[in-house]
Chains A and B, each alone.
Chain A
Amino acid sequence: MTDTPDISPIRSAVSKNLGARYRAELRFRAAGLAAVAAAVGILVILLASIISGGLPAFTVNQLELTVELDRELIDPNGDGSEESLRRGGYSRALQDAIRAEFPEVQARRDLRNLFSLYTALNATRLMDDVLENPDLIGSRYDFTMPLADDLDLYLKGLLVEDRTLDTGGVLSLAVEGDEVAISSTETDFRELAAELARVLRARATVLEVQADTLAGLAEGLSGTEAEDLLYDADLNRRRAADIRATLEADAGSLTLDASLPSVIVEVEGRAVALTSLGRNGAAATGRFLIGSEPLAAAADWTLYVIDTPAERRRVSDQLIVWTRALQERGAIRASFNTYLFANADSREPELAGVKGALFGSILTMMITIIISVPIGVFTALYLEEYAPKNRFTALIEVNINNLAAVPSIVFGLLGLAVFINAFGLPRSAPLVGGLVLSLMTLPTVIIATRAALKAVPQSIRQAALAVGASRTQTVFHHVLPLAAPGILTGAIIGLAQAMGETAPLLMIGMVAFIADAPTLGLEGFTEPATVMPVQIFLWSDGAERAWEYRSAAAILVLLALMIGFNALAIYLRRRFERRW
């Protein structure tokens, strides 16, 4: 009979802690899952924000105008020569075409405003059309051009918050000098007036609260600082009081200014922006934005409200109303944005496209492929198959590992100092960009190739050597073909990485504004160019809102290319990979 030790105290001690330990286990596991979820979640947010930002830029609202290509205007010398045609008044022709749409616009300032519906650069496009097809001269030509970037965003619903209110009454407009008296048989304006009054009251309250905070802060201070704060507080109080006073006293009407939403009455081809609004809800005054004729009675009319106040947006009521009118008349058509792909960079977002950057990327990648793939593969072959184990080989290996970890911007510095300043190669050229990126990609290609070569079993080599093949024959006839899929995969991944690289290219001047796409030929390698990621960098810096969408769209194009490359790599690996 053996002695069984009494394990019950141990068991009880263990089971006492067991609950806590299992809970800790669960917590740890949950934390792990949360970490994975966080990483995936961030990726989803990143992609969602870029896709939602980029998709709107793939469509464009185009203005279709019939342009009179008057012979005298377009061909000032009258001889139809290219020189003469280049001097033609194309912007005049465009201006006349848009003026024909709104003949009532006469004042200089209004006209300038009207011409900002499109960018003046379109005149050059019109000229190119005429130069390409001189038969157009003297005819009426249906010219299509992109709407100004802000208005394009407006039509996509990305610029302002707006809504259209239905109305029930019968409207009449009476002209009194500059003003238009608007009246409806129903109280169609009442809700709107109440809403605006609420907005104003809220604004007064905010001012008062701010005043109290400032006064409170002033108590803790003394001297001029306190005085300044008290002065600001007083100012706020007085402004609040003003607002309240107008709300109380002027019970009959509310004045609409640039700090309040714009209200526009649209009726029978006319548009009237309200300047004041009767609190009773049946009457208002305004000024004509389109049209000028009084109106006796109209039952079919709408109230268009732009909730974003005029002072907080880049486009005026007038431009918005013109755009809406043009859309109503069918002169604006939304279509796929071909400018994004057919054009190179431009100063105006609506005409800017990725073609130049895409060509630049292609040229740069060609240089990178030509240089980094052969040299990388050869290096790996040497190190893996030929190199004797000595100091020098060890040095090369350490070197390659270190190069793989050198920040990319340092390669840019190298390119600037060596290729541009010492060798005198041209700045901003795909040739230099490709050289720099090749050096950067080299370690990736080498490491991938060595892995692929290592995966080829030793028996293949031994068999080849045994039947009398030389070392070179063994490597080139047997090992290299077997390792090729792996090498290809690694090279493609390295190149995809190089295609997304930006920083070193900034150093060698590929960051300039380049309005012409480089030629896809031998001379293109030394022409100034930029590449996709740099284009994205440049656009994301743009002042106008539209650049944001353009750069997101360019990112989508770049990501699509990179996904394509990686998918190809994965396909090759799946298709040709051999397990030994």
Chain B
Amino acid sequence: MSIIAIVALAIIVMLAGGFYVGRSRAIAAVSGATASLHSLPNYHGYHVAIWTGLPAFLLLAVYGMFGPTLVDRITAAELRRDAIVLTSSFESELASDPEILALEEALTLLRARADAISDSMAELRSASGSDRDPQRLEALAVEQTDLVNQIATTEDARLARRDVLRDRVSAEAAASGAEVRALAGFELVHAPRERRQLFLSDVRRIATDGLASRASDELDAAAAVMAHHDLRIRYLFAGLALALAVGGLVRTRGQIAGPFRARNHVEGLVTAMLFLSSVIAIMTTIGIVFSLLFESIRFFSTVPLTEFLFGLQWSPQIALRADQVGQSGAFGAVPLFAGTAMITLIAMVVAVPIGLLSAIYLSEYAGPRFRLTAKPILEILAGIPTVVYGFFALLTVGPAIRSFFAMIGIDDVVTQSALSAGLVMGVMIIPFISSLSDDVINSVPQSLRDGSYAMGATKSETIGRVIIPAALPGIVGAILLAVSRAVGETMIVVMAAGQGANLTANPLESVTTITVQIVMLLTGDQEFDSPKTLSAFALGLVLFVITLLMNVLALRVVQRYREKYD
């Protein structure tokens, strides 16, 4: 059992003991006459227990969250220090190698040319009138692609040469009997970023007797370093936690006395805890806004905002190397917006009539027994996970649409189409619209209905001319909320709408949406500094802003135009 677990157990025991000590000491302090205590004995117990357990457990939680990362950092730093001699000899090697120098110079030249070209391209793009020269722009674009490829190959060559040098340095060092730890540090320092992670996780696995992806002396040496630091950090935190617990126990135990206001202290702590919990909701929003904003700003520093919002071409997968010239026009999000809009529209065409009519039927016509069975059935639709809808769209609705159109003579309909995704999404949204409108319709006062009936109107006339107009703001709000839901829905479109970024008005083609692209960009391997990954955050920001606006608007509509009765 690890030291942390032992300490945690010890703290739990101390916590229980603290409660008992606090309680009995409080009783003893007034020699049994509990009526003369300010607070009930239990509150004294709680007070001691809280101060014994809470700070210590918070510390352990911090250890659980950040302990491994801290150990990784310390280990990496120590290994790096060990490798300092090797690193410096490698650097001098790098600085004196003619091949590297030549390649670096070539790279600088190529980059400068690429920059010049992208500048003149930008100039040409914004040019107007007689300055416009599409042919030259085209030629420049071709040259730019060419340059990007050249830069990439040169960069690859430079890295390859660097690897050769690195291997040579480490081989020489190994031959001349350098320390294994130094070699390990050297390997760690000069590995690419994702390999560094792998190295560290292998080291961790060896240090904890797990199965590593490979075995080497360097790894074993690094594992020894890590095990050492791991133990130290562990003991440090365990000791601190124990000290905090003991300190809390001793301090609060000393405070116990007849007039001590233990209850007020405990209640103050409880209130603080409740308040902190409610701040988490705000923290979440702040977290969302900042993480989206931060990454989006990084994205917009390579791709201009206007191009992102108004560009007609979306193909983030092409060409994106770290040194890619940003303005290649592959980040125009209009096809995604159009796809999202089309699927949302189809969904609304399905959901609004069915949802609204069933809400009207259930609240105005249906008998109580019919309502009692039909409403829960509609709500089942809301409880089905979206991945199930996606499965349904992919394997039942898509093929059904295709065979339907094949039957009427249109053969080239794809299974993954905007239509199938939209239809199924509409079904998903039906209960949303129906239950929200149901609430609104039910809140229209009975007196309005009675008045209408008294004038001789039929039920449908009453509904059409009295109830719906009265409930309209609420219904519009419900529809807006449903739209925001449809815009943010992910799994149905990921599974059923396809991935081609087509800018089309034909619902039988496959389209792509904002959410699909976020998923596509962020699943699989990702480097966190490429515009490709960052663009997902920009799309997320757009999504967040759209849904937020929609909700605010819905609330406004409801509040502003609500008829005030009574």
A residues whose Cβ falls under 8 Å from a Cβ of B: 14, 21-22, 24-25, 27-29, 31-36, 38-40, 42-43, 45-46, 49-50, 53, 374-376, 378-379, 381-383, 386-387, 395-396, 399-403, 405-414, 416-418, 421, 423-425, 439, 442-443, 446, 470-472, 476, 496-497, 499-503, 506-507, 509, 511, 533-534, 536-537, 540-541, 548, 551-552, 555, 558-559, 562, 566
CB of A413 within 8 A of CB of B377, answer: no
In contact, B281 and A49 (Cβ under 8 angstroms): no
Out of B266, B281, B364, B391, name the residue touching A399 (CB < 8 Å): B281
Using CB atoms and an 8 Å cutoff, list the residues of chain B in contact with chain A.
65-66, 69, 263, 266-267, 270-271, 273-275, 277-282, 284-285, 287-288, 291-292, 294-295, 353-358, 360-362, 364-366, 374, 377-378, 380-381, 383-392, 394-396, 427, 430-431, 434, 456, 458-461, 463-464, 481, 484-485, 487-491, 494-495, 515, 518-519, 522-523, 528, 536-537, 540, 543-544, 547-548, 550-552, 555
**In the complex, what residue of chain B is closest to A548 when comparing beta carbons?**
B395
Residues of the A chain whose Cβ atoms lie less than 8 Å from the Cβ of B464:
28
Rounded to whole angstroms, the CA-CA distance of A386 and B280 in the bound complex is 16
Say yes or no: B357 contacts A32, CB within 8 Å. yes
> Chain B contacts of A14 at CB under 8 A?
456
A380 to chain B: closest CB distance in Å? Answer: 8
Are B383 and A562 interface neighbours, CB within 8 A?
yes
Residues of B within 8 A of A511 (CB): 523
Partner of A31, one of B357, B461, B485, B488: B357
Which residues of the other chain, B, contact A503 by a CB distance below 8 angstroms? 386, 490-491, 494, 515, 519
Which residues of the partner chain A approach B273 to less than 8 Å between Cβ atoms?
Answer: 378
Listed by A's residue number, 6 A-B pairs whose Cβ atoms lie within 8 Å are: A28-B459, A28-B460, A53-B395, A402-B552, A413-B288, A418-B291
Q: Considering only CB atoms, which chain B residue lies closest to A507 in the complex?
A: B522
Determine the chain B residues whose CB is within 8 A of the CB of A27 once the complex forms.
460
Kindly list chain A residues whose C-beta atoms are within 8 Å of the C-beta of B387. 500, 502, 533-534, 536-537, 555
A406–B282 contact, CB under 8 A?
no
CB A10 to nearest CB in B, in angstroms, measures: 10
The answer to whether A25 touches B459 (Cβ under 8 A) is: yes
Interface centre among B358, B386, B430, B484 (most CB of A within 10 A): B358
In Å, the complex CA distance between A379 and B484 comes to 26
Q: Is the interface of A mostly helix, strand, loop or mixed?
A: helix
Contact B288 A406 (CB under 8 A): yes
Question: By DSSP majority rule, is chain B's interface helix, strand, loop, or mixed?
Answer: helix
User: Known: A396-B281, A409-B515, A503-B515. Contact between A382 and B275, CB under 8 A?
Assistant: yes
A-chain residues with CB within 8 Å of residue B383 when the two chains form the complex? 496-497, 500, 562, 566
Within 8 Å CB of A34, what residues of B?
357
Q: Which residues of A contact B518 (CB under 8 A)?
A: 409, 413, 507
Q: Knowing that A409-B519, A412-B522 touch, tell me 4 more A-B residue pairs with CB under 8 angstroms.
A: A405-B481, A407-B544, A414-B287, A537-B387
Q: Given that A409-B543, A562-B385 are known contacts, is A36 also in contact with B271, CB under 8 Å in the complex?
A: no
Is B484 touching A540 in the complex (CB atoms < 8 A)?
Answer: no
A136 CA / B274 CA spacing, docked (Å): 62
Q: Give the residues in chain A near B463, CB-CB below 8 Å.
A: 28
Instruction: Give chain B residues whose Cβ lies under 8 Å from the Cβ of A541.
Output: 495
Interface residue from A443, A506, A534 paired with B281 (Cβ < 8 Å):
A443
Question: Given A32-B361, A53-B395, A507-B522, do A559 and B384 touch, yes or no (CB 8 Å)?
Answer: yes
A406 to B550, CA, bound (A): 11
Residues of A within 8 A of B66 (CB): 423-424
B357 close to A378 (CB less than 8 A): no
Inter-chain contact A413/B284, CB cutoff 8 Å = no
In the complex, what residue of chain A is closest to B463 when comparing beta carbons? A28
Beta-carbon contact of B287 and A555 below 8 Å: no
B278 and A25 contacting across the interface, CB-CB below 8 Å: no
Report yes or no: B281 in contact with A472, Cβ–Cβ below 8 A.
Answer: no
- Give Cα A408 to B515, complex, Å: 10
Q: Which of B280, B388, B484 contacts A559 (CB 8 A)?
A: B388
**Contact between chains at B495 and A537 (CB < 8 Å):** yes
B65 touches A537 (CB 8 A): no
Interface centre among A22, A381, A400, A414 (most CB of B within 10 A): A414
| Docked CA distance A443–B280 (Å) | 11
Contacts of B544 in A (CB 8 A): 406-407, 410
Docked-complex contact A375 and B277, CB < 8 angstroms: yes
Q: Collect the chain B residues with CB atoms within 8 Å of residue A375's CB.
A: 277, 280
**CB <8 Å contact, B460 and A442:** no
A375 to chain B, nearest CB (A): 5
Report whether A410 and B519 are in contact in the complex, using a CB–CB cutoff of 8 Å. no
User: Which residues of B lie under 8 Å from residue A424 when comparing CB positions?
Assistant: 66, 69
Please give me the residue from chain A that is nearest to B430 by CB atom.
A39
Pair count A-B, CB < 8 A:
263
- Are A502 and B484 neighbours in the complex by a CB distance under 8 Å? no
Partner of A446, one of B274, B281, B550: B281
In whole angstroms, what is the CA distance A558 to B547 when docked? 29
In the bound complex, CA of A405 to CA of B354 (Å): 22
Are the C-beta atoms of A407 and B380 separated by less than 8 Å?
no
Alpha-carbon separation in the docked complex, A157 to B267 (Å): 68
Nearest B residue (CB) for A425: B65
Which single member of A32, A423, A470, A551 contacts B358 (CB below 8 Å)? A32
* Shortest beta-carbon distance from B335 to chain A in Å: 19
Residue of B nearest to A381 (CB): B274
Q: Which residues of A contact B274 (CB under 8 A)?
A: 378-379, 381-382, 386
Q: Which residues of A contact B550 (CB under 8 A)?
A: 405
Q: Which residues of B contact A425 (CB under 8 A)?
A: 65
Instruction: Say yes or no: A395 contacts B282, CB within 8 Å.
Output: yes
| B449: min CB distance to chain A, Å | 15
Contact of B386 among A22, A381, A500, A540 (CB under 8 A): A500
Known interface pairs A22-B458, A43-B380, A501-B385; A379-B278 also in contact (CB < 8 Å): yes
Q: Which residues of B contact A411 (CB under 8 A)?
A: 288
Closest to A511 in B: B523
In the complex, chain B residues whose CB is within 8 Å of the CB of A472: 266-267, 270-271
In contact, B461 and A540 (Cβ under 8 angstroms): no
Cα–Cα distance between A499 and B386 once the two chains are bound (Å):
11
Of chain B, the residue at the smallest CB distance from A45 is: B396
Contact present for A402 and B548 (CB under 8 Å): yes
- Partner among B69, B294, B355 whose Cβ is within 8 Å of the Cβ of A417: B294
* CB contact between A46 and one of B294, B392, B487, B490 (< 8 Å): that residue: B392
Query: Which residues of A lie under 8 Å from residue B495 when comparing CB positions?
Result: 537, 540-541
B354 pairs with A378, CB closer than 8 A: no
Write the nearest CB–CB distance from A408 to chain B, whole angstroms.
7
CB-defined contacts of A25 to chain B, threshold 8 Å: 458-461
A-B residue pairs, 5 tightest by C-beta = A407-B488, A500-B385, A32-B361, A417-B291, A35-B357
Cβ of B551: which chain A residues have Cβ within 8 Å of it?
401-402, 405
CB-based contact A42/B488 at 8 Å: no
Asked whether, in the complex, the Cβ of B519 is within 8 Å of the Cβ of A402, the reply is: no
The smallest beta-carbon distance between A471 and chain B, in angstroms, is: 8
In the complex the two chains form, what is the Cα distance from A164 to B72 in whole Å? 68
Asked whether B489 lies within 8 Å of A413 as measured between CB atoms, the reply is no
B489–A407 touching, CB < 8 Å: yes
Contacts of B384 in A (CB 8 A): 46, 500, 559
Write out the residue numbers on chain B whose beta carbons fall within 8 Å of the beta carbon of A533. Answer: 385, 387, 491
Q: Kindly list chain A residues whose C-beta atoms are within 8 Å of the C-beta of B277.
A: 374-376, 378-379, 382
Q: With A378-B278, A417-B537, A537-B390 in contact, is A403–B284 under 8 Å at CB?
A: yes
Q: Which residues of B contact A537 (CB under 8 A)?
A: 387, 390, 491, 494-495
Give which listed residue, A21, A382, A471, A506, contacts B519 with CB less than 8 A: A506
Answer whether A35 and B354 are a contact pair too, CB < 8 Å, given A414-B284, A540-B495.
yes
Are B385 and A42 interface neighbours, CB within 8 A? no
B291's contact among A29, A50, A413, by CB below 8 Å, is which?
A413
Contact assessment for A379 and B281 in the assembled complex, using a CB-CB cutoff below 8 Å: yes
Assess whether B282 is in contact with A396, with CB atoms less than 8 Å apart.
yes
Chain A residues with CB under 8 Å of B460's CB are 24-25, 27-29
Specify the chain B residue showing the minimal Cβ separation from A31: B357
In whole angstroms, how far apart are the Cα atoms of A559 and B392 in the complex?
14
In the complex the two chains form, is B386's CB within 8 Å of A502's CB? yes
Most chain B beta carbons < 10 A, residue from A25, A408, A503? A503
